[in-house]
Structure 1
Amino acid sequence: MHYSAAMHTQPPALLLAAGRGERMRPLTDHTPKPLLQVQGRPLLEWHLQALADAGVARAVINTAWLGERISQQFSSHFGPKGAPGKREQLSISYSHEDQDFGRALETAGGIARALPLLGPVFWLAAGDVFAPDFPFDAAAAQRFARGDALAHLWLVENPAHHPLGDFGLSEGGLALNPAPGSSAPRYTYSTIALLRAGLFAAPWCDIPAGNPGGVAAPLAPLLRRAMDAGRVTAELYRGRWTDVGTPERLAALNATAPPQG
């Protein structure tokens, strides 16, 4: 099923914010990682602001560890109130995995759980990644919606902490699942993507619709199956990007000047 709204409309977004942030302890003992301050604002707020600026009308945030703190921080809307010539506020809803199941459901499990709140096509971004230049471009969403790929990934050059990367990239823009031992170049998945709900159905995924049983499952195996079938596209992202996975990386970000604009 293709996203068929008018070309003036953005698909909704899902922001992943359910992780415990073990490597960030003790900072995350009392603060969920997406609410840690990065250059003067909560990390998750950077994505919310970019989505609002890009004209995305609805965002879903999945939560688990200290999830109530996230919903208290952002309530049900984000951004300035609508005014003449201004965009409407970004509407926010939540998929509280901790309240429903007492634990996080990993990436694919969490996405499957949130699908009823989304649509046939949606943006995906991890709430613990800092990517202040990423535009959430409506034209990219429209191109994806018109095609038949199940996912479109943004890849980045491998950071020092992940030197082997995740996926390959063909000259024609297909994401590749490298064979074991392959020496072909790999890149790191930025955790930003456009996804089709069909990726979370057979034959790619065996979690029932809406994940009523709270199955926990990672996303990478689904992506690799779809890559092997030629159903995942990708491109390199050259903007600023940091996986804020350790206190040292957070401190390095906060030691730099805030982005302009």
Structure 2
Amino acid sequence: MFIDTHVHLQEKALRVDVDKVIARAREAGVELMVCVGYDYASSVEAVALADRYKDIYATVGVHPHDASTLTPQLLESLYELARKPRVVAIGEIGLDYYRDLSLRDEQRRAFIEQIKMAHELGKPVVIHDRDAHQEVLDIVRQEKAGKNGGIMHCYSGHLPLAIDFMKEDFYISFAGPLTFKNSKKSHEVAARIPLDRVLIETDCPYLTPEPHRGKRNEPALVTLVGAKLAEIRNKPVEEIAYLTSRNARQVYRIKD
């Protein structure tokens, strides 16, 4: 049984037939999914889905694209939402210097404020990092972001950086790009890091794995990411499913 550690079932592309999407995930052997918020509205929807389905948990947070919206009032609303019983992490938060949809100072401020919220609530963080590797690592170290554990979502950095994040008590999560032929950097990281620090995800409806690239992604396809990881590590798929699911339960503190 697999756990998809990062889904966006509240996105319109999946919400239109979410019952069927979840049924296909169950049939494929996906036992749990973590629905990740990226702004206040999507965080509210993630919590609502977690309340509705027993195999969904939620995270709440404001993505760096929307960092400029994180007012003191919104932060207080996030605090209240994050205290809900099926919220297992703060995220996705971080820095995105590829699109720069919010000013970088605003991104840094929102990132740090939400790390502090995670500390106060005793929850792990789910980090989005695009073209900001060193600065994300610097903030993680400065703010002790891994105090309650953390996840580097859809990891795209190199091996030495992954090692640095693991030293800060972070897990490294691989998504659909792991199945792409040109993802040599991801393949190297997946081949070398300890299996007790590896997670798998879809980030659906985005980043669809091969051989379905170009089509809508959904949680059932996390099995393809798991199969690719098993191939890279020369392990049975069942072992990878067990290990990555165990890791997901540990970082998210899921006991059921």
Flag the structure with more relative contact order, 1 or 2, with Cα contacts below 8 A and sequence separation at least 6: 1
Name the one with the larger helix percent.
2
The two structures have a TM-score, normalised by structure 1, of 0.30
Q: TM-score if structure 2 supplies the norm length?
A: 0.31
Which one has a larger percent strand, Structure 1 or Structure 2?
A: 1
